[in-house]
Amino acid sequence: MNDKQKKVVQQARDNMVRESISFSHIFTTPDGKEVLEKLKEEFDPVAICATNSHETVVRAAQRDVIKYIETMVNLREVTENAT
């Protein structure tokens, strides 16, 4: 990897960390945790497979959003523990 590529990768990491801090500020508060739990109840079904392919795709996309939020919150914890 050349210096330009390393710089781009580092900028992407820095941006992700900044974004994860924002997510963490919201979803680690008592209200944020409650909201995330309600979102999980509504949009993270136990079974992704449905009776038709359209509904299966919708459920998978909904779950992806929940997992993205959880990943962003956890990313901050991981980066803080790494330093």
Is residue 73 within 8 Å of residue 28, measured between CB atoms? yes
- Angle at which helix 3-27 crosses helix 53-82, to 10 degrees, equals 100
pTM as predicted: 0.79
pLDDT at 69 over 80: yes
- Tell me, what's the pLDDT at 9? 93
20 burial type by CB count under 10 A (0-12 exposed, 13-18 middle, 19+ buried): buried
Q: 46 versus 8: which is more confidently predicted?
A: 8
pLDDT digits (tens, 9 = 90+) for 22-63: 999 999 999 999 999 999 999 998 888 888 999 999 999 999
- Angle at which helix 53-82 crosses helix 30-43, to 10 degrees, equals 150
- Tell me, what's the pLDDT at 1? 84
- Tell me, what's the pLDDT at 24? 92
pLDDT at 83 over 80: no
How far is it, in rounded angstroms, from Cα 39 to Cα 77? Answer: 21
